[in-house]
Chains A and B, each alone.
Chain A
Amino acid sequence: MLIAQIVFIALLVIAITLFSRQVRKIRRNILLGRDEQISGNRWKRWKNVLLLAFGQKKMFRNWIPAILHLFVYLGFIIINLEILEIILDGILGTHRLFLPYIKPVYPAFISAFEVLAVLVILACSIFLIRRNILHVRRFENPEMTCWPRRDANNILIFEIILMLLFLTMNASDQALQMKHYGHYYPTGSFLITHPIAQHLQQISPGLLVGLERGSWWLHIAGVLFFLNYLPYSKHFHILLAFPNTYYASLEPKSQMPLMADIVPEVRSMMGLEADDSQSAPASPPVHFGARDVFDLSWRHLLAAYSCTECGRCTAACPANQTGKKLSPRKIMMDTRDRLEEIGRNIDMHGSFVDDGKSLLNYISEEELRACTTCQACVEECPVSISPLAIILELRRYLVMEASSTPQEWNAMFTSIENNGAPWTFPPDERGQWASRLA
C-alpha cells in the first residue's frame, strides 16, 4: 500500500508543480500588457461573474449548445467533489474515505455524479458530432483548422474517456461489493453502475480488482494530465472565464475609451488652457494605439486566454456573414498566438528580444478595415470578451502612427478638419435645410 501512496503523492506533486509553473507563465504573459486601473463597481462586477460565468446566462442565447454545455459544466464542478475523495484516498491509502462519515447519503451523492457523468458523455458525443459530422458552420471558418480543431476534439474525447473510467471504476467496485470481496465494503447501490455490476458478476474477483484499480489510477492520472493540458489549450477558459467576466468593461458597448495620454497635446494644439481635471500622463504612450500585444491592456490579453473559440462572435459578425476576411474569433486567437510567441521568446532569452514582428503580422489590415463596430461580437460573447476593443486599438495604430489609411478615409479626415463635416460641404450651409422648411 505504501508504495502506491508514494507513487500517488509523487504524481500529484509533479502534476501540480508543472501546472503552477505554466499558470505563472500565462500570468506573466498577461501582465506584459499595458497597465490599466479597474475602478470601483465591485458589486456590478461580481454580478457579472455570477450571471455570466457561474450562471451561464449568455450561453442561453443559443438553447441546444447551452443545455449540453450546462451538463459538462455541472459535471465538471460537481465531479470535483469526487476528485477530492479520490485524491485523499490516494494520499492516505484508504478506499472511499468519505463513506463512513456520510453513509446514509453516500450512494445518493455518487449516483448524482454518475448521472452527470452519463450526461457529460452524451453532451460531449453530441458536440463531437456537431463539429465533425454535422459541420456546424461556426466551427468551419479558416481559423478553425489544425490545432484549434484537434484541440477541441482532444478535449471532448478526453472528457468522455475520464467519465467512462469513472463509471468503470464504480461498476467494478459495485461488483466486488456484491461478492463481499476484500475491503470493498458495501456502499449502497449506485444508480447507473449497479445494474451494470450485476452483469460483471461472472468475472473473476482478481480481474475485477484489476479493473477497479486500473480505472482508478487511469482516471486520476488522466485528470492530472488534463490539468496540465489546460494551459496549452482553449479549455483554459474554465478557469479564466471567472476573472474575465469580473474585469470586463462595464461601459456601454458603443463607447470607445479615451486616449487620455494625448489630451494635453491636443488641448495645447488648439490653444486651450491645460485642464486640471486631466492630469498629465506619467509617461508618453509608447505607441498611438496598439502595434503589438504590449500596447494592449492586460485586460485584452486576459480575454485572449479566456476565449474558447466557440465562434459565436464570428457567426454574428456582419462582415464575416457577407464573406469578408474579418473573424472576431480570429482576432482573439491571433492575440493569444502572438502572446504565446512572445512568451517563448522571453523563456529563451530571459527577456524579450525583438523578433521584427508584431500583432499586425497576424492580423491583416484587410481584416481590421472590414469592421463596422456594430458590437455584435461583444454582445454574443458568453464570457464578455471584446474583440472590437482590440480591433479599434490596432486601427488607431494604423492611422495615427503607421499612416496606413485608405485614401477615402484620408479625404474624410481632411473634410472633417476643414469643413467640420465628413463631406465637403461648407459649414455655412449647415442650416439651409431649416430655411427651406416653410
Chain B
Amino acid sequence: MQIPTVAELYAKGEKPELLYWVGCAASFDQRAQRTARALATIFTRAGIRFAILAQEESCTGDPARRAGNEFLFQMMALKNIQTLNQYGIQTIVTSCPHCFNTLKNEYPALGGQYEVWHHTQYLYRLVREGRISLKPATAEALQSVTYHDSCYLGRGNGIYDAPRDILQALQMKIVEMAHHRSRGMCCGAGGAQMWKEEEKGQTRVNIARTQEALATGSRTIAAACPFCNTMLYDGLKHAGKEEEVQVKDIAELVAEHLASDPTVGG
C-alpha cells in the first residue's frame, strides 16, 4: 500500500477524492501513528482515492491559539490555507478533533472553506453505506467497551453518536462512564495543556478520568483523539493497569474488524 501525497497527484494532473489531514500527533507520536495506519488501511480497503500532504502539512495552530498566541495561530492558518487552496482541496478527513475544530470552524474566517469530517463521522458513513464490511462478531468484539468523549468533538461540535454507532456496528457493548456525552470529562490535554505540566492540584485530570474509565470494568477504552489516547494510556500506566486494559482509537478497532474479503468495497 502506497499513500500518495497531494503534490504527487498534482504533478500527474490529478486531485484526491479526499485529503487525510494527519495532524502532528498522528504524524510523529508512535501511538497515534497506529490510528493513521488504521485509517489508511480502511480507506484503501474502501477504495477511496485519498492523499496526504506529508511535509506540506503544518500544525493547524490550535495549541498556540489556545495558549493565547493568536499571531502564531494566524501565521499557521494562513500558511495551511494557502497550501490547501493551491491544491483545490475540498474534502478533508482528520483523525484529530483539535485539527477538525480548527479546520472546520476557525479557518473559514481566514478564507479556508472546506468540507471537514472527523474520522469517526466518516467511518460511520462508510459502515452505513456498506463501503466497508466488518467481520462477524468475535468473543473479543462482544466484550464491553467504554467510550471517552473528546471535548472538541462532543461539546465542541455535538459529535456524540458517530463513535458510539461504530462501536455498536462492531457489536461491542458500550458501558458509559459516570461522565459521558455532554457531561464528559476532559482528558486534561486540551487548551495546550499537552505541552506543559498541570497546575498544582490534588490529582491530575487524566488520572481522575482513567479512574472513571476503569470503574466501568471494560477491558477496552475507546478514544477518538490522539491526545485523549495518550492521556488515558498514561493514566492506565499510573494505575498499573496498562497490561489488563487497553486504550484504542475507534479507527484501530474498525481496522481490526475489517472483513478480509478482498472484493468488498472494491
Residue of B nearest to A258 (CB): B109
Q: Verify if B3 is at the interface (C-beta below 8 Å from A).
A: yes
Most buried by B among A392, A397, A398: A392
Contact residues in A for B64 (Cβ distance below 8 Å): 412-413, 416, 422
User: Smallest Cβ distance from A330 to chain B, in angstroms?
Assistant: 14
A267 B78 Cβ-Cβ under 8 A: yes
With the chains together, A409 CA to B195 CA distance in Å? Answer: 6
Nearest chain A residue, comparing its CB with the CB of B207: A322
Are B67 and A409 closer than 8 Å at their CB atoms?
Answer: yes
**CB-based nearest B residue for A269:** B75
Is B214 an interface residue when CB atoms closer than 8 A count as contact?
no
Contact A253 B156 (CB under 8 A): yes
- Say yes or no: A321 contacts B208, CB within 8 Å: yes
- A431 B52 Cβ-Cβ under 8 A: yes
Given contacts A266-B78, A400-B71, A433-B37, A422 and B208 within 8 Å (CB-CB):
no
CB proximity to A under 8 Å, residues B101-152: 101, 105-106, 109-111, 151-152
**A162 to nearest B CB, angstroms?**
36
Query: Which of A266, A272, A316, A429 is within 8 Å of B183, CB to CB?
Result: A316
Residues of A307-363 contacting chain B, CB below 8 A? 316, 318-319, 321-326
* A232 in contact (CB, < 8 A): no
Q: For A269, list chain B residues within 8 Å (CB).
A: 75
Q: Does A438 contact B (CB under 8 A)?
A: yes
Chain B interface, >50% SS class:
helix
Contact (Cβ within 8 A) B69 A399: yes
Give A429 to B27 CA distance when docked, in angstroms.
8
Residue of A nearest to B204 (CB): A322
Give 1 or 0 for each of A246-280: 1 = CB within 8 Å of chain B CB: 00000111111011101100110110100101000
Chain B residues with Cβ under 8 A from A432's Cβ?
Answer: 27
Across chains A and B, the number of contacting residue pairs, with CB separation under 8 Å, is 224
How distant is the Cα of A255 from the Cα of B65 in the complex, in angstroms? 11
> Among A136-144, A199-207, A369-377, which stretch is in contact with chain B?
A369-377
Given A392-B68, A409-B67, A438-B1, A371–B24 Cβ distance below 8 Å? no
From A277, A319, A375, A430, give the contact of B54 (CB < 8 A): A430
List chain A residues, Cβ under 8 A from B190.
Answer: 372-374
**A433 partner residues in chain B, CB cutoff 8 A:** 22, 26-27, 33, 36-37
Q: A408-B195, A409-B196, A437-B40 are in contact. Are A428 and B55 (CB under 8 A)?
A: yes
Task: Name the A residues within 8 Å of B101 (CB-CB).
Answer: 252, 254-255
Q: Knowing A370-B198, A405-B67, A429-B28 touch, does A437 contact B3 (C-beta < 8 A)?
A: yes
A-chain residues with CB within 8 Å of residue B205 when the two chains form the complex: 318-319, 321-322, 372
The yes or no answer to A427 lying at the interface (CB within 8 A) is: yes
A318 with B58: CB separation less than 8 A: no
A431's partner among B55, B59, B74, B183 (CB-CB below 8 A) is: B55
Q: In the assembly, what is the distance between CA of A431 and CA of B33, in Å?
A: 10
Across-interface contacts of B1 in A (CB, < 8 A): 437-438
In this assembly, does B169 line the interface, its C-beta being within 8 Å of a C-beta of chain A? no
Q: Mark A412-438, 1 if CB is under 8 A from B, else 0.
A: 110011001111010111111110011
B191 touches A (CB below 8 Å): yes
Q: Among A251, A260, A433, which residue has the most Cβ atoms of chain B within 10 A?
A: A433
Pair B186/A372 contact, Cβ less than 8 Å: yes
- B66 on interface, CB distance cutoff 8 Å: yes
Interface residues of B in 47-101 (CB under 8 A from A): 52-55, 57-59, 61, 63-72, 74-76, 78-79, 82, 101
**B57 touches which of A318, A373, A409, A430 (Cβ 8 Å):** A430
Q: Does B239 contact A (CB under 8 A)?
A: no
Interface assignment of A100: CB less than 8 Å from any CB of chain B:
no
Q: Say whether B216 faces chain A, with CB atoms less than 8 Å apart.
A: no
Q: How far is the CB of A65 from chain B (nearest CB, A)?
A: 16
Q: Are B191 and A372 in contact (CB under 8 A)?
A: yes
Counting CB contacts under 8 A, is A288 at the interface? yes
Tell me whether A325 and B199 are in contact in the complex, defined as CB-CB below 8 angstroms, given that A434-B52, A437-B40 are known contacts: yes
Q: Which residue of B lies closest to A324 (CB)?
A: B201
A324-B201, A370-B201 provided; 5 other pairs, C-beta below 8 A?
A: A254-B151, A325-B199, A406-B196, A420-B76, A430-B28
Sort A-B residue pairs by CB-CB distance and give the 8 closest, nearest first: A254-B156, A323-B202, A431-B54, A399-B68, A373-B191, A420-B58, A395-B68, A323-B201
B-binding residues in A (CB < 8 A): 61, 251-256, 258-260, 262-263, 266-267, 269-270, 272, 275, 277, 288-289, 316, 318-319, 321-326, 366, 369-376, 378-379, 392, 395-400, 405-406, 408-409, 411-413, 416-417, 420-423, 425, 427-434, 437-438
